[in-house]
Chains A and B, each alone.
Chain A
Amino acid sequence: MLETFLLSRIQFATNISFHILFPSISIALAWFLFYFKVRHEISGHPVWLRCYRFWVKIFALTFAIGVVSGITMSFQFGTNWPGFMERVGNIAGPLLGYEVLTAFFMEATFLGAMLFGMKRLPSWVHTLCTFLVAIGTSMSAFWILALNSWMQTPQGHIMVDGVAHPEDWVQIIFNPSFPYRLLHTLLASGLTASFLVAGISAYRIWKGDNKLAPKVALKAGIFTAAVLIPLQIFIGDLHGLNTLKHQPQKIAAMEGIWETQNGAPLLLFAIPDEEQRTNHFEIAVPKLASIILTHDSNGEVKGLNEFEGEHPPVKAVFFSFRIMIGVGLLMLIVSWLVSWFLVTKKTLQKKTLLTLVSMSFSGWVATLAGWYVTEIGRQPYLVSGVLKTSEAVTNLPPSNVLFSLIVYVITYTLIMVAFLHTIFYMARKSAAVPEFDLSDLNSGTSLTNYKGKGVNSNNQPIGESA
């Protein structure tokens, strides 16, 4: 029988991995919806409202799964990691509390008005509700990442009898890794949503949907991605340098550097061997790691040998990091190429559409891989230098944890299947209905104001099937 500690870690990882997928869509998708709604306010063109109507349903679904799996998270600390709250609860509690108070309530309350209130509210109030939901989702990220970053790079507290007490809240919230992690995560959400919007829109076009809405949404998605990805690479680099300063053992694991060295090579591929403390099958670019990390080809990079017994498991961090970078580069190539096609040719070939469809959930892969780097990279600590993960675990019998783990895995698998099935089903359903499915809301809509209102240039066929 597995022990409670390992089972609890697997359970927490399962829960948080499942949970993060949904906020990573909804945080940025809320801003997409706000953008669609504002464009509609300004131009009055129904296509923006159609984009809104299609994506608001996917948003509602994503948000709901995010909420219910988030509720699970709020219980996890107490059920499996009582030591976490007992030792650092004075810091973690208030940050979580502010998340619930300033973000969770706001997004959940205005969501009702945003989803179902369009006919009952003046248009601008409805747009304001959409804005407040978007603000709420981003505020939520702010507080959660403040806590997560504090766990990575804690400061602003003092320890009394092994319990952390707050000294300076500004220092606690704005701890060294927080600004980088916040930006990096928000951009990750932006990219996840962009590729989802572009991918599902491409799927609709591929399925023979020659209406205007999916084309407009595809453009919005892909152009956003094309702008965000270079920013993300830049912020990611800064985040890495910040990690090098505060958590050098994490960088050493990411780069697979076992011994401290000058002019460290960048490993494109290798298989780290934790027992012999070396790598196999290395493919390396000489000196590049030193250049990236220290901006000096002979710069010294600390190796894992400096942190024996205090560094994270290497293999998981090393591979997750490469997956994240790989997906990021793929995003760069695809978003720029497709943008280029859109600007120059105004049409997309079938294989381009299929590429976009296959990239629909690429943001999930990169986000999860990135989280594994940063979270596994913090081990064996739960709060760097303050609390080890093994000290926080519950003393429940393993059978209880095994049981709950099985229940979670089954539930989450079923939800994931239903979620993916429903999204593609909704896309096919939208592709099948004819244009002008608008309700009485837009009684002014007619074929004549289809053209010539703000979106002239979009009125070109994009898909082959158009």
Chain B
Amino acid sequence: MSFEQALPYIFLLLMALSILIYAILDGFDLGVGILLHRSSRTHRNQMIASIGPFWDANETWLVLAVGILLIAFPTAHSIFLRELYIPVLFLILGLIIRGVAFDFRAKAVTKYQNLWDQVFRLGSILATASQGFMMGAYVTGFEDSVQAFLFSCLSAICITAAYAYIGGAWLVLKTEGELQQYAARKARTAGWFTGLGVLSICVANPLINPQVAERWFSLPAAILLLPIPLTTFSLMLVVDYYLKKVPWNNDLGCWIPFTAVAGVFFMCLVGLAYSYYPYVIPNKLLAVDAASSSKSLSFVFYGVAIVLPIILIYTLFSYRIFKGKTTALEYS
């Protein structure tokens, strides 16, 4: 395969990578938004402070993922956004209101702060639920039926739970005391719903797409694939055990839940990617057929090859600056 022929696959991989990073990074800040404590303002301030320096950059990974879809597979981009016009609208609306709520709450009159916190929470849920709905619609191949709609709704709930799961795990890492225990309890509940979501996609996916069924259950693929669900569910059990015992002495292993949940996200993405590769829209559109001209792709490729490592380095740098338990957020 020549470099030019490989380009669509390289971009497919890049898109998967940015979706994964997006789901983990914006995942935790959306999750913190979903879990925003209802009663205590001190807790709310701490929760917001734990994501304050990061949320802007985290959201950029979504722009990159949509950007790659747009740049590398314009036809797929058009189909995707036409089919999902209304869910996309709600996703954008959610992201808008939570972004502005975040900034207004810090600057606004104190009496409005509770209101902005609620807007932030609502925006986060709206964004995650729309993403879940979109994913459900994607898996069912944009089918227009009651079952497909119900499946998308289930997916909306489970993806929201998955974000709350990683958000709770993030709070366990970044906070301590009462708030950490609150986060651990919520994350545990969210974990069970996430597990339900993973299971339902595992069941529904081969039922809807015969091609997926064949890929999953034919030998020897079935045996080779077995580690994916096994790792996923064992990671979830580890997380569940850890969260049950919070607080640990000296905060031992406070990074475990977050890392393990990130691992769960990775495994789920690998599973989905294996099911559909090399399609960019399941059973409808091959990546190669949807790809832009190779001149455009190679022009972007060189940029990505140079810039993406730099982006990763300074992203790490920014997380290092704010490492450790969260302290109160102050504008310089």
Interface positions of A (Cβ within 8 A of B):
52-53, 56-57, 60-61, 63-65, 67-72, 74-75, 77-79, 82, 85-86, 89-91, 93-94, 96-98, 100-102, 104-106, 108-121, 126, 163, 165-166, 169, 394-396, 400, 403-404, 407, 411, 415, 418-419, 422, 425-426, 439
Contact = CB atoms under 8 A, between A and B. Distances in A.
B331 A64 contact: no
Contacts of B82: 78-79, 82, 394-396
Contact of B295 (A64, A90, A126, A426): A90
B299 A94 contact: yes
Nearest to A60: B103
A75 B295 contact: no
Contacts of A96: 67, 70-71
A86 B66 contact: no
A256 B70 CA distance: 39
A426 to B, nearest CB: 6
Given A53-B331, A112-B54, A90 B63 contact: no
B329 interface: yes
Contacts of B318: 109-110, 112-113
Contact of A65 (B70, B100, B296, B315): B100
- Secondary structure type dominating chain A contacts: helix
Contacts of A403: 86, 89
Contacts of A396: 82, 85
A407 B104 CA distance: 20
Interface in B117-167: none
A48 to B, nearest CB: 12
Contact of B104 (A111, A126, A394, A418): A418
Contact of A109 (B81, B96, B97, B314): B314
A85 B70 CA distance: 7
B13 interface: no
B35 interface: no
A93 B103 contact: no
Given A90-B296, A96-B67, A112-B52, A71 B311 contact: no
Contact of A86 (B78, B99, B332): B78
A97 B96 contact: no
Contacts of A52: 332
B189 interface: no
Given A53-B332, A166-B299, A113 B53 contact: yes
Contacts of A404: 85-86, 89
A232 B104 CA distance: 33
B57 A60 contact: no
Given A79-B81, A112-B322, A60 B93 contact: no
B107 to A, nearest CB: 5
B208 interface: no
B300 A94 contact: yes
A56 B103 CA distance: 12
13 contacts: A52-B332, A71-B95, A79-B81, A79-B85, A86-B74, A89-B74, A93-B292, A100-B67, A101-B64, A115-B52, A117-B321, A166-B299, A411-B96
A97 B303 contact: yes
Interface string B86-123: 10110011011101101110111100000000000000
A100 B331 contact: no
B331 A57 contact: yes
B53 A115 contact: yes
Contact of A68 (B74, B75, B100, B295): B100
Contacts of A119: 330, 332
B228 interface: no
Contact of A439 (B95, B104, B293, B330): B330
Contacts of A439: 330
A67 B99 contact: yes
Contacts of A117: 53, 321-322, 332
Nearest to B314: A109
Given A120-B321, A404-B89, A407-B89, A169 B299 contact: yes
A112 B56 contact: yes
Given A60-B103, A94-B296, A101 B52 contact: no
B59 A108 contact: yes
Interface in B11-60: 52-54, 56-57, 59-60
Contacts of A115: 52-53, 331-332
B77 interface: yes
Contacts of A419: 100
Nearest to A172: B299
A106 B296 contact: no
Interface string B315-332: 101100110000001111
A52 B318 CA distance: 21
Contact of B60 (A56, A77, A105): A105
Given A100-B67, A404-B85, A422 B104 contact: yes
A97 B85 contact: no
Given A85-B77, A109-B315, A116 B332 contact: yes
B53 A101 contact: no
A82 B70 CA distance: 10
B287 to A, nearest CB: 15
A303 to B, nearest CB: 39
A166 B56 CA distance: 33
Contact of A425 (B109, B299, B322): B109
B307 interface: yes
Contacts of B321: 112-113, 117, 120-121
A400 B315 contact: no
B304 interface: yes
Contact of B92 (A75, A77, A100, A166): A75
B80 interface: yes
Given A57-B107, A57-B331, A97-B67, A166 B100 contact: no
